[in-house]
Amino acid sequence: MRRTPRQARSRARLALLLEAAERLLVDEGVEALTTTRVAAAAKVSVGSLYQYLPDRGAIIDALAAGYFARLESVMDDLARSAAQEPWDDPVGVLVDAYAGIYRTEHGFRALWFGSGLTEQTRAADREHKRRMADGIRRVLLALEVARDDEALARSCHAAILAADALAQEAFRRDPQGDAALLAEAKVMLRGYLAEVTARY
């Protein structure tokens, strides 16, 4: 973004712009995310948009940052939940939660399945996946099935990369997620989790 809004009114204006951008993204795809179209959809001047989002790349990056924040918030909730109660099937809980986000975040799917991701967004996604992997690590430690070390961090990163790839393919096939492929993802990840936890 060109500048970060600090006052409540400015934050509300940016939220309005991003809501309009997300509607365009869901309805028409990444190609619709021009500054002119977004400003018109938000019913503001292009000059007002430029204060925060000077080009298509900035719009895409800001939308992606919002999606990442929501995904990471869900992971934080799961890590807290794991610390409070035992889970019989950690993989099932995590995959179902991840799939639930894909079902409800239509803009996230439209952005990731489109072809307009910027290099900055791709770099942010790599960091986001590392934070999600850290969430998996916190879940396993809370469930007391692993010991905290570098190997665990590496395993959690591999697991989140695999889960993300499988989730993307499942939702490319079916807007509700290909149930059979999601079931296979659980089988694969349960086997991997058993292998990881057997090391400790």
The pLDDT, as a whole number, for residue 180 is: 98
Q: Which residues contact 89 (CB under 8 A, 6 or more apart)?
A: 190
Q: Is 116 helix (H, G, I), strand (E, B) or coil?
A: coil
The pLDDT, as a whole number, for residue 145 is: 93
The pLDDT, as a whole number, for residue 150 is: 95
pLDDT higher than threshold 80 for residue 1: no
Q: Lowest-confidence range among 114-118, 161-165, 183-187?
A: 114-118
Cα angle vertex 147, ends 144, 150, to 5°? 145
pLDDT higher than threshold 80 for residue 116: no
Give the domains, in start order, of the chain with CATH numbers: 1-54 (1.10.10.60), 62-197 (1.10.357.10)
Judge if pTM exceeds 0.85: yes
Pairs from 16-23 (Cβ < 8 Å, separation ≥ 24): 16/42, 16/44, 17/42, 17/44, 17/49, 17/52, 17/53, 18/59, 18/62, 18/63, 18/66, 21/53, 21/59, 21/62, 21/63, 22/63, 22/107
Q: Which tens digit of pLDDT belongs to each residue from 6-23?
A: 678 888 889 999 999 999
Q: What are the helix (H) ranges across 29-89?
A: 35-42, 46-50, 56-84
Q: Which tens digit of pLDDT belongs to each residue from 76-115?
A: 999 999 999 889 999 999 999 989 989 999 999 999 887 7
What is the sign, positive or negative, of the torsion defined by CA atoms of 163, 70, 102, 79?
A: positive
- Band the pLDDT of 199: cuts 50, 70, 90: confident
The pLDDT, as a whole number, for residue 3 is: 64
